[in-house]
Amino acid sequence: MTKPTVILRHCGDYDPHRIEKIAADGLDQMGLQPHGRTLVKPNVVASGEMFPHAYTRPEFVEGILRALKSRGSKMRELAVGERSGITMPTRFAFKYAGYYEMAKRVGDVKLYHFDEHTQVEIPLYHQGRLRDSFFTPEPVAKADFFVNCPKFKAHPWTTVTFSMKNYIGIQDDRHRLIDHDHALNYKVADLQYITQPQFIATDAIIAGEGRMLTPLPYRLDLIAMGNNQVAFDSVCCHIIGVDPMSVDHIRLAHERGFGPIDLDKINICGDVPLEEAQERAQDFEVGLIRVEEYFKDTNIQAYSGPPPSDVDEYCWGGCPGALEEAIEILRVYDKTTDEKLPPMHIVFGAYDGPLDVKAGEKVVFMGDCATFRGKIAGNNVEVESLYRDRSEIDPKNFNVDDIFVKMAKVETMLLKNRNNDVMRIAGCPVSVAEQVLLLVKVAQTKNPYLDPKQVIGFVSCYLSMRTRTALKRVLQQPYQRSGPTIRGDARPDQNRAPDDADRDLEWV
Ligand code: SF4
């Protein structure tokens, strides 16, 4: 068997033509020819001047698209598709990332907003899966040549977000939030069964350090390309000095046969030797920090007990990390956020330690799994778990509130609790958006969703997304038996169901 390839190339700027040349070389070197429906999946979790290092830059995607075009005589369609961060219309993220202008410059490129598309159910058969099926947008299910274009970033929930973690954006909000808790790494590993990319190219020219939505820029001047997701992520981990086996989604995908982790089993080439890439990344910080530590020396005192899990002592993929992202967003919009926050206490999981609360200080129990029994400011308080086991959650009936409903709910909850110092925010997870809205209210700081510079664009993209989705629902067949055949090569052989090639898909 030929070894999977990872190519490391120097690229010191965002010149689309230089990127095109590098990507075309990569395609040729790996003998790849785009064909059929060719779909590029960037990372546009957030964009615009407040989130300049969160997303795959448009110049980068432009270079990749131009390279695909130059090798794409067998292509039927060339498209870019994404589901941006939860509650954010993808139209809004594309607009402020400059993707519409970029697509025009390249020409003949379709843009798919995954939140506006039919979601297709993909059955899962492998051992150890979280659930028996996943939903993914139709363009992903139908893609013949899938190109993964992540941004090279650290991640507060999963240590890193390279190629595999970029798959969280191939699910719409209501499916994405399910299992987005202490099982997040398992979810990312399961998502690998939906499809595997033929070509991977990561924007590591300016990488993102420390966080996911508001990362610090870190110059690596690199483009990494590959043809196997596990091998690719393993090499990226080695670049920043992280053991890939310590990142659960990479370890699981490796153990399930998706690809090698050992550098000996990977063909690493290009004009930047791995040692030089490591040297460039020697100060790169991943930012996997527990919430108690993260908020040390601030007005927020955080406490965390274990989530409802036999194996995990901390909910890395859920509410605590969302609070870290939330405060960083507010700090970007208002530098005085920390000063404006009154002393408060936020409790996660089954916490059974003391709470050091003074009279008049607010205590928030965050998430369905928060429990507590004890004294708060001299009063006996008991907080029961609202947690539902994941086996009870049916993706077909799972609903997620949009941002305006969330705003109204947070407002009502705070109004109801205006005379209470102890409150509970339900949800599993409580999203970054909800935690932002809570802190906005408590600190009386700027609401990023109502930022005057963007509010008109946001509302217009939101209404456009809502209208198009409603129209599609009316016009489309609610159910159709003969779906596209998912490529068999998406899954390692040993995990394939016997009748895999014949399965049908359902439109919901
Ligand atoms: S409620 Fe929050 S902290 Fe608890 S399991 Fe769910 S995501 Fe994790």
Taking only the tens place, the pLDDT of each residue in 119-156 is: 999 999 999 999 999 999 999 999 999 999 999 999 98
Omega prior to 89 cis, within 30 of 0:
no
Confidence band (pLDDT; 50, 70, 90) for 505? Answer: very low
Please give the structure tokens belonging to residue 294. Answer: 């993260």
- The per-residue pLDDT for 486 is 43
DSSP state of 125: -
Q: How many domains does the chain have?
A: 2
CA of 448 to the centre of ligand 1 (A): 24
pLDDT tens digit sequence for 300-349:
999 999 999 888 899 999 999 999 999 999 999 999 999 999 999 999 99
Cβ atoms 99, 131 nearer than 8 A: no
The most confident of the ranges 201-205, 405-409, 466-470 is: 201-205
The residue out of 280, 307, 328 marking a domain boundary is 280
Residue of 405, 364, 407, 368 whose CA lies nearest to 385: 368
Domain identity same for 55 and 110 = yes
Name the residue of 185, 304, 319, 371 to mutate for ligand 1: max ligand atoms within 8 A of Cβ.
Answer: 319
Tell me: pLDDT of 67 over 50.
yes
Residues 234 and 321 in one domain: no
Distance CA 132, CA 148 (A): 25
Q: Are 198 and 491 in contact (CB under 8 A)?
A: no
Distance from the CA of 316 to the center of ligand 1, in angstroms?
9
Closest CA to 185 of 158, 203, 212, 207: 158
Q: Could you tell me if 154 and 287 are in contact, meaning their C-beta atoms sit under 8 angstroms apart? A: yes
Residue 477 lies in a domain: no
- The answer, yes or no, to whether residue 495 has pLDDT greater than 50, is no
The verdict on the CB of residue 197 being under 6 Å from ligand 1 is no
In this structure, the answer to whether residues 238 and 384 fall within a common structural domain is no
The CATH number of whichever domain residue 16 belongs to comes to 3.40.50.11440
Mean pLDDT of the region 480-490: 40
Residue 58, ligand 1, Cβ within 6 A: no
DSSP annotation string for 255-285: HTTS---SGGGSEEESSS-HHHHHHHTTT--
pLDDT for residue 402: 84
Cβ of 259 less than 6 Å from ligand 1: no
Q: Which residue has the higher pLDDT, 103 or 433?
A: 103
Contact 429 CB / ligand 1 (< 6 Å): yes
Domain-located, residue 455: no
Within a domain: 237: yes
User: How far, in Å, CA of 159 to CA of 144, rounded?
Assistant: 30
For ligand 1, pick from 347, 430, 431, 432 the residue to mutate: most ligand atoms within 8 Å of CB.
430
| Res. 503 pLDDT band, cuts 50 70 90 | very low
The domain in which residue 410 lies consists of 291-389+401-445
Pocket lining: 305 vs ligand 1, CB cutoff 6 Å: no
Nearest to 492 by CA among 150, 249, 268, 260: 260
* Residue 27 burial (10 A CB sphere; 0-12, 13-18, 19+): buried
pLDDT of residue 184: 95
- Residues 207 and 54: their CA atoms lie apart, in Å, by 9
For residues 102 and 238, state if they share a domain: yes
Residue 193: both structure tokens together = 């069964």
Instruction: Note whether 197 and 230 are within 8 A (CB).
Output: no
- pTM confidence score: 0.91
How many CB atoms within 10 Å of residue 473? Answer: 10
Collapsing DSSP states into helix, strand and coil, what is residue 372? strand
Compute the distance from residue 307 Cα to the ligand 1 centre, in Å: 6
Is it the case that residue 14 has pLDDT exceeding 70?
yes
Query: Taken in order 190, 194, 198, 202, is the CA torsion positive or negative?
Result: negative
**Average pLDDT for the chain:** 91
Distance, CA of 16 to CA of 59 (rounded, Å): 5
Q: Does 214 share its domain with 175? A: yes
304 CA closest ligand 1 atom index: 3
User: Is 431 part of any domain?
Assistant: yes
C-beta 369 within 6 A of ligand 1: yes
Q: What is the pLDDT of residue 36?
A: 98
Are 163 and 127 members of one domain? Answer: yes
Nearest CA residue ID for atom 4, ligand 1: 369
* Inter-residue contact 61 to 99 (CB < 8 Å): yes
184 shares a domain with 89: yes
User: Where residue 476 falls among pLDDT bands split at 50, 70, 90?
Assistant: low
Does residue 252 lie within any of the structural domains?
Answer: yes
SS3 assignment, position 464: helix
Q: Which of 280, 306, 332 is the last residue of a domain?
A: 280
For the record, the structure tokens of 388 come out as 């539902």
272 and 305, same domain (yes or no): no
How many angstroms is it from 358 CA to the middle of ligand 1? 26
Asked if 208 and 302 sit in the same domain, the reply is: no
478 belongs to a structural domain: no
The atom of ligand 1 lying closest to the CA of 182 is 8
Say if residues 51 and 213 touch (Cβ distance below 8 Å): yes
368 lines ligand 1 (CB under 6 A): yes
The DSSP secondary structure of 428-459, one letter per residue, reads: SSPPHHHHHHHHHHHHT---GGG-TTTHHHHH
**Closest residue by Cα to residue 381 from 360, 342, 354, 416:** 354
Q: How far is the CA of 324 from the centre of ligand 1 (A)?
A: 14
Whether residue 296 is found in the same domain as residue 378: yes
Check pLDDT > 70 for residue 482. Answer: no
**Smallest CA separation from ligand 1 atom 3, residue:** 319
Pairwise pLDDT comparison (364 vs 477), residue with the higher score? 364
Are both 312 and 255 inside the same structural domain?
no
Point out the ligand 1 atom lying closest to the alpha carbon of residue 320.
Answer: 3
Angle ∠(294,280,286) on CA atoms, nearest 5: 20
pLDDT value at 484 more than 60: no
On whether residue 177 sits in a domain, the answer given is: yes
Residue located via tokens 């598709």 = 81
Concatenate the DSSP letters of all residues of 162-209 into one string. STTGGGGGGS-HHHHSTT-STTHHHHHHHHTTT---SEEEEEEEEEEE
In a domain, 460, yes or no: no
Residue 3: phi and psi, rounded to 5, are: -75, 145
Q: Which residue lies with its CA nearest to atom 6 of ligand 1?
A: 428
Shared domain for 102 and 206, answered yes or no, is yes
- Tell me, what DSSP letter sits at residue 263? G
